[in-house]
Amino acid sequence: MSDTELVTDPPQPQPSQKSVLFGPNGLRAGWRVLIFLMLMLALGVIAGLLLRFVLLKDATEFSARNVILSESLSFVVVLLAAMVMGKFEERSIADYGLPPAGFLGKQFWTGAVWGFVMLSFIVALMAATHSYQIVGLAIAPVDVLKYGFLWAVAFLLVGLFEEFTFRGYMQFTLTNGMGFWPAAGITCTVFALGHSRNPGESPLGIIEIVLIALFLCMALRRTGNLWFAIGWHMAFDWGESFFYSTPNSGIQATGHMLKVSLNGSKWLNGGSVGPEASVFDLIVTVAGILLLAKLYPEAKYPVNPVSAPAQELGLGQATTSVAPHQGA
């Protein structure tokens, strides 16, 4: 280097209003999630008007028919909102955790087995402490298969809607902005707050819903998509509401299979909330998280790079592909 050559510092970016909205790779993740939620709100208003027209006076009844109608429309709303965002970001629904090829596939049914078995452990512990007792059938034997099927369809739609809403686009986009587990902390909190409006819900029930949400985030992280979580969600809710016939987040289903008696302390039986607010749910869910981490040791949740055209629109959030690796 000659004596006359000068060494200068690299130019520093000037602070501007753009830094609030845009990062180095386009519109920040938080703003994209806000746009997504606004789309959901706008579409939800339309869906709500249609739903009110269809359900008429029966809108408040927790029946399989009503759940199928309401959750179908709700899932269409979140799916359309994600597809609109995906159009600008040049991503597919599979990128947001819902590959169509996995519908009713191996991961879904594996999750369903986990969900029903975990609930069965909770109910078995309740029965062993005389907190849960079967009195008889609540419906005619010929109706068991009918209502069992209808509630399975209903809770499949619940699983699709709730998992894709909280752990689909939102989880994916926030992960790009802040990392998986900080994003999971936000989505789990919002998930629990959404359940806080259920009649009969309790503070302990909300805390345990957060824990369940963490389990479902772990399932997403370790399996790479939402199908395990959707299967788990369907089976757990179906087992609560129909098969074991307990309250589900404070709501008793119409057309449940059994007449049951919940006795003793609400710490054991969950009170008006049901098994989700039982101390046994806390024990089983923690055990489920530890077992899931043991059986699925690799993190497979994909974060895909965005294409150049999407970045030019300002919606892209460039990332690098994350290969499966050991750890959380």
**Domain count across the chain:** 1
pLDDT in tens, 230-255: 999 999 999 999 999 998 877 888 99
Mean pLDDT value of segment 146-166: 96
The boundaries of the domain holding residue 259 are 25-326
Report if residue 102 sits inside a domain.
Answer: yes
Q: What region does 140 belong to: left with phi over 0, alpha with psi -120 to 50, or beta?
A: beta
pLDDT value at residue 205? 74
Count of CB atoms situated within 10 Å of the CB of 311? 18
Q: Is the pLDDT of residue 27 over 60?
A: yes
* Least confidently predicted of 23-27, 108-112, 199-203, 323-327: 323-327
Distance CA 71, CA 293 (A): 31
In a domain, 89, yes or no: yes
Residue-wise pLDDT for 2-19, tens only, equals 444 444 445 554 444 456
Report which secondary-structure segment, H or E, holds 135. strand 132-137
Residue 16 lies in a domain: no
**8 lies in some domain:** no
| Helix (H) / strand (E) containing 151 | helix 141-164
pLDDT of residue 123: 96
Average pLDDT over residues 77-86: 94
For residues 59-73, average pLDDT: 85
- Residue 134 has, within 13 A of its CA and on its CB side, a CA count of 12
In a domain, 1, yes or no: no
Measure Cα distances from 273 to 75, 135, 186, 294, 310 in Å. 25, 20, 23, 30, 45
pTM of the model: 0.84
Per-residue pLDDT tens digits for 157-190? 999 999 999 999 999 999 988 899 999 999 999 8
- 133 domain residue, yes or no: yes
As a three-state string, the secondary structure of 188-231 is HHHHHHHHCCCCCCCHHHHHHHHHHHHHHHHHHHHHCCCHHHHH
Instruction: Please check the confidence at residue 70 and state whether its pLDDT lies above 90.
Output: no
Within a domain: 4:
no
Is residue 10 in some structural domain? no
Between CA 101 and CA 85 the distance in angstroms is 21
